[in-house]
Amino acid sequence: MIIAPASGELASGLFGCGRMEEPDIIYNIIEKYFKTRDDFCGKSILVTAGPTYENIDPVRFIGNHSSGLMGFSIAEEFANRGANVHLISGPSQLSTNNPSISCTKVTSAKEMHDCCLDLFPKTDITIMAAAVSDYAPITINKQKIKKSNSDLSLKLKPTIDILAELGKRKSNSQFLAGFALETENEVVNAQKKIIQKKLNLILLNSLNDHGAGFAVTTNKITAIDQEGNITKFDLKSKNEVAKDIADLIKQMIEKHSFVKNV
């Protein structure tokens, strides 16, 4: 925890940033910090992160630009608030040393699907932040495809919709949240997903928002719950977005607004 210096008159007589924060503000920050340490104590949390890679041949794949930072930030935030977190990550350069986080590395959508279905029955809260590939090649070549003068055509098949599968299996005591990355009709499309996939909460990203999406350290989300309530957040670092998500889920659980068949 870092308490940043305040702005005001300095010992030198100048004005600027560098003044010690007021004692009451320091006290409030420390009090809030320790109060949140036990927000999710005893809870089992499942988080997915990163992309999936769907192999074409031994050296090529279909994937996306997800770094996994959003999912890792969420896992760290819940672990810091007392939860036992199982993080399932697709290919990513990120790692965690947090003792409250168990991390399973996977590559394909099928591997992530199988791992999620294995862990899901034992979890209280699941947050699906991974950018899972929607399609995979029907045939994976065992040898590298040689470049030639002719066009290369790939036949693709849809991957399993992991979020929808978990929605079918969700009990009334489980909380399920997913992310939706949209480029048009963002809110309408997200609202459809929350119904179709039986979610408690959907977190909408729009690629039309500067600073949101893949391969950046910031994000901008709009949270939509199963009752249609919409909460918009400002552009923030992904660590701060993770805090907002944890705060919102805590509020929903405390109100028991998620305990219903959706």
Three-state SS at 104: strand
Q: pLDDT per residue over 83-139, tens digit each?
A: 999 999 999 999 999 999 999 999 999 999 999 999 999 999 999 999 999 999 999
pLDDT interval class at 258 (50, 70, 90): low
Q: What backbone phi and psi angles, to 5 degrees, belong to 119?
A: -90, -25
CATH top-level class for 40-142+151-255?
A: alpha beta
Residues with a known catalytic role: 64
Q: Does the pLDDT of residue 195 top 70, yes or no? A: yes
pLDDT average, residue stretch 161-180:
96
User: Percent helix, strand and coil across the chain, each rounded to 5?
Assistant: 30, 25, 45
Percent residues over pLDDT 70 in the chain? 89
| CA distance linking residue 261 with residue 255, whole number of Å | 16
pLDDT average, residue stretch 45-50:
98
Residue 37 C-beta-side C-alpha neighbours within 13 Å: 8
- The confidence score (pLDDT) of residue 3 equals 67
DSSP letter, residue 40? T
> What stretches of 159-243 adopt beta strand conformation (E)?
175-182, 201-206, 218-219, 222-225, 230-232, 236-237
pLDDT average, residue stretch 203-210:
86
| CA distance linking residue 105 with residue 230, whole number of Å | 33
| CA distance linking residue 212 with residue 208, whole number of Å | 8
Residue 223's CB: how many other CB atoms inside 10 A?
20
Domains of the chain, by residue range, sit at: 40-142+151-255
Percent residues over pLDDT 90 in the chain? 72
Q: Which two tokens stand for residue 183?
A: 């480029």
CA distances 224 to 36, 73, 157, Å, are 23, 20, 30
pLDDT average, residue stretch 68-73:
97
pLDDT average, residue stretch 171-199:
93
| CA distance linking residue 116 with residue 31, whole number of Å | 36
Mean residue pLDDT across the chain: 89
CA distances 70 to 81, 118, 127, 172, 196, Å, are 17, 23, 11, 26, 24
pLDDT interval class at 31 (50, 70, 90): low
| CA distance linking residue 1 with residue 30, whole number of Å | 9
Q: How many helices (H) and strands (E) does the chain have?
A: 6, 16
Q: Does the pLDDT of residue 203 top 90, yes or no? A: yes
Q: Among 1-10, 139-148, 228-237, which is the least confidently predicted range?
A: 1-10
- The confidence score (pLDDT) of residue 165 equals 97
- The confidence score (pLDDT) of residue 189 equals 92
Closest to 113 (Cα-Cα) out of 57, 64, 48: 48
Q: Does the pLDDT of residue 210 top 90, yes or no? A: no
| CA distance linking residue 262 with residue 255, whole number of Å | 16
pLDDT interval class at 260 (50, 70, 90): very low
Which residues are 8's β-sheet partners? 16
DSSP letter, residue 121? G
Q: Among 31-45, 141-155, 226-240, which is the least confidently predicted range?
A: 31-45
Residue 102's CB: how many other CB atoms inside 10 A?
15
Q: Does the pLDDT of residue 44 top 90, yes or no? A: yes
pLDDT interval class at 261 (50, 70, 90): very low
Find out whether 199 and 226 touch, Cβ atoms under 8 Å: yes
